[in-house]
């Protein structure tokens, strides 16, 4: 029996991050107990929450590869090589993410991916699932945690060497950590919400394949990602105040005809009106906190530690990277949990907070900046410089989505690039002025 098989870990939540984390910990040889308040999604009825599909990129793939899941999951994923912009006057434009190295992001169904990750846990006999068990209490000083069995209404107190909260943006474990001295916490609900619509498979031939479609409209935007059954999931992100102004069938149809005329036929007026008048737009939250660990055994990962707005498509990817990093640190520290947790917080907080900020910025880029000439010129310049200096000039989107560069460094790198370009423009301008002056005299 290895030393690790004596180590025990409790994971709270079988969402995307909790399920992947269970695989990582089981692969280390730990005894893993996973508690989830919902039913097993593989056998229970489908639960709708958040988005229907997600974009998987480099960091997520990197983590999946480490537990031998990448190949299987990518089999059904749909590669997206760029953005497809729908102008308000009917203009269409494809903007490739990475024309140099041809990297793609991948569209995947959320439920499909979650089921795949849960199925992957079957491979490990040292993982035990406890569905319909809700975390209700936590004693950080004693290192114990209490679950309510939702079927029997029985309360169970548990402990382990390591207790990981992967219980999402409204984490109960984090709530207990918030009572610790010096725990920093901020949450921001943005003033924009979202509604999901659907383009059926029979209309999909009218959608340019292998792209993330965007209808950028300055104050708001609509996007569409392809599903495995050839349908498309369309998400409208918009200020709540505009959602609330559209209360009548005619107003909703007029609004769509004014701003998304080419999408009306694809989605269908009936569905648009039905969704608008009968669904409440969902909220978007961004959470920053520090530290990510408490005492010698508690840790929060994924959305529990750093929920972010979805505009960089990095929430899940960052959560998967959390699992990868935790595993690497346990390797480095010979399974010393106390040292690992401390190092984890030191390395992860600044990077996770950086991607929360980048995600906010990208909403502006997607709904507005992509329409501007300066953005298009910068993209051309970035791509040319990337081609010439692939190790030196990595454009921001590439560093976030197609590399494992620290998120914090992605921001610093971009600032450095901005400074270089600014200096180059000033020097060129001065050179031109001086040349003109010399040629006149």
Ligand X SMILES: Cc1cc2nc3c(=O)[nH]c(=O)nc-3n(C[C@H](O)[C@H](O)[C@H](O)COP(=O)(O)OP(=O)(O)OC[C@H]3O[C@@H](n4cnc5c(N)ncnc54)[C@H](O)[C@@H]3O)c2cc1C
Q: Which residues bind ligand X (CB under 6 A)?
A: 12-18, 35-38, 50-51, 54-55, 134-135, 166-168, 172, 194, 302-304, 310, 313-317, 319
Beta strands of 269-385 (E only): which ranges?
Answer: 285-290, 293-294, 298-300
Q: How far is the CB of 123 from ligand X (least distance, A)?
A: 19
Cα separation, 405 vs 410, in Å, equals 7
Q: 347: buried, middle or exposed (CB in 10 Å: 19+, 13-18, 0-12)?
A: middle
Using Cβ positions, the residue closest to ligand X within the complex turns out to be 15
CA torsion angle 327 329 332 336 (round to 10): -100
Smallest gap from residue 290 Cβ to ligand X (A): 17
CB of 248 to ligand X, least distance (A): 26
Closest approach, Cβ 427 to ligand X, in A, equals 40
Distance in Å, CB of 387 to ligand X, minimum:
27
Cβ proximity to ligand X: between 189 and 425 the closer is: 189
Smallest gap, in angstroms, from Cβ of residue 16 to ligand X?
4
Nearer to ligand X, 109 or 313 (CB): 313
Shortest CA distance to 129 belongs to which of 43, 258, 32, 54?
32
Closer to ligand X by Cβ: residue 300 or 393? 300
Kindly tell me which of 194 and 260 has the beta carbon lying closer to ligand X: 194
Name the DSSP letter for residue 212.
E
Minimum distance from CB of 228 to ligand X (Å)? 15
Element at 186 (helix H, strand E): strand 184-189
Calculate the CA dihedral of residues 147, 317, 285, 220 and round it to 10 degrees: -150
Check if the beta carbon of residue 34 is closer than 8 Å to that of residue 11: yes
Question: Considering beta carbons, is residue 226 or 302 the nearer one to ligand X?
Answer: 302
Cβ-contact 135, 62 below 8 angstroms? no
**Which residue's CB is nearer to ligand X, number 171 or number 417?**
171
Alpha carbons 136 and 142: distance in angstroms, whole number: 15
Six-digit token string for 402: 């197609």
The smaller minimum CB distance to ligand X, of residues 223 and 335, is found at 223
């Amino acid at each position: 029996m290895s030393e690790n098989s004596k180590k025990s870990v409790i994971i709270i939540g079988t969402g995307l991050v909790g399920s992947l984390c269970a695989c990582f910990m089981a692969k280390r040889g730990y005894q893993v107990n996973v508690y989830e308040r919902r039913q097993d999604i593989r056998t229970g009825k489908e639960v709708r929450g958040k988005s229907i599909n997600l974009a998987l990129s480099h960091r997520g793939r990197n983590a999946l590869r480490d537990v031998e899941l990448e190949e299987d999951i990518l089999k059904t994923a749909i590669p997206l090589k760029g953005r497809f912009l729908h102008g308000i006057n009917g203009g269409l434009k494809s903007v490739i993410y990475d024309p140099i190295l041809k990297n793609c992001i991948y569209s995947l169904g959320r439920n499909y991916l979650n089921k795949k990750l849960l199925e992957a846990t079957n491979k490990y006999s040292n993982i035990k699932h406890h569905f319909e068990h809700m975390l209700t209490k936590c004693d950080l000083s004693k290192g114990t945690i209490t679950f309510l069995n939702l079927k029997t209404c029985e309360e169970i107190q548990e402990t382990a060497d390591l207790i990981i909260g992967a219980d999402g943006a409204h984490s109960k474990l984090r709530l207990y950590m918030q009572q610790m001295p010096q725990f920093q916490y901020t949450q921001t609900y943005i003033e924009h919400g979202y509604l999901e619509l659907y383009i059926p498979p029979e209309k999909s031939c009218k959608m340019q394949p292998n792209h993330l479609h965007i209808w950028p409209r300055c104050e708001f935007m609509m996007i569409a990602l392809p599903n495995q059954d050839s349908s498309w999931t369309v998400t409208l992100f918009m200020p709540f105040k505009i959602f609330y102004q559209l209360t009548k069938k005619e107003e909703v149809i007029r609004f769509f005809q004014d701003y998304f005329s080419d999408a009306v036929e694809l989605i269908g007026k009936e569905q648009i009106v039905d969704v608008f008048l009968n669904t409440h737009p969902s909220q978007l939250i961004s959470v920053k906190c520090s530290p990510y660990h408490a005492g010698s055994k508690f840790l929060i990962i994924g959305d529990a530690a750093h929920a972010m707005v979805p505009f960089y498509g990095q929430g899940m990817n960052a959560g998967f990277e959390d699992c990868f990093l935790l595993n690497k640190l346990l390797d480095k520290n010979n399974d010393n949990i106390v040292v690992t947790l401390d190092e984890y917080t030191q390395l992860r907080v600044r990077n996770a907070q950086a991607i929360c900020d980048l995600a906010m910025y990208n909403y502006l880029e997607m709904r507005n900046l992509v329409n501007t000439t300066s953005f298009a010129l910068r993209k051309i310049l970035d791509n040319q410089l990337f081609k010439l200096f692939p190790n030196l000039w990595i454009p921001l989107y590439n560093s976030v989505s197609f590399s494992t560069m620290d998120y914090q460094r992605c921001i610093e790198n971009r600032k450095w690039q901005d400074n270089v370009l600014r200096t180059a423009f000033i020097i060129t301008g001065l050179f031109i002025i001086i040349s003109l002056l010399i040629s006149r005299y």
